[in-house]
Amino acid sequence: MIVGSINLPDEGTMIADSQPWHDRNRFLETAYEEIDFHCDYTQHLVDLTDHPDFNIPAVIEMFKVWKGHKKKAIMEHRDWGFASTLTGAAAPMHRTKWVAAIDDSTESYLATSDE
């Protein structure tokens, strides 16, 4: 399938694999349930492939914290930074509040001080 390393199963097997995901998706009620679902499905795909595993539980927690920020203050949720689940490196905080950052160019975003 992808660069010849994985063969597609027959149609019946694909349907049997995907139907429980469709069924589960139908009954999701909250954004937090959707986050869990998305990450569970991502883990399922990682497990089926030769993609390197990564810390999906940490990603789930990050998404939930981000969603909490968004729910608390819709205009401030972009002001938070998170650490990479792969490297542990923390994203730097932007020098201004997102809502006040009128210039959205790459150069402005990457600048480290008010110039």
List, as own/partner pairs, every contact residues 6-14 make where C-beta atoms lie below 8 angstroms and the sequence separation is at least 24, other chains included. 6/48, 6/49, 6/50
Helix (H, G, I), strand (E, B) or coil at 90: strand
Q: Cα 94 to chain center, whole Å? A: 20
The pLDDT of residue 115: 47
- pTM of the predicted structure, to 2 decimals: 0.70
Read off the pLDDT band of 103 (50, 70, 90). Answer: confident
8 Å CB contact between 82 and 62: yes
What's the pLDDT band for 102 if we cut at 50, 70, 90?
Answer: confident
Eight-class DSSP state of 5? S
DSSP 83: B
Give the count of beta carbons closer than 10 Å to the beta carbon of residue 24.
14
CA neighbor of 53 nearest in space, from 83, 84, 86, 21: 86
Tell me which long-range contacts 89-97 makes (C-beta under 8 A, separation of at least 24). Answer: none
pLDDT in tens, 80-95: 778 888 888 887 777 7
Q: Residue 48: its pLDDT value, please? A: 86
Which residues share a beta bridge with 90?
A: 83
Instruction: Give the model confidence (pLDDT) of 12-54 as tens digits.
Output: 999 999 999 999 999 999 999 999 999 999 999 988 887 888 8
Name the band, by pLDDT with cuts 50, 70 and 90, for residue 2.
low
Give me the residue spans of the domains in the chain.
Answer: 11-110
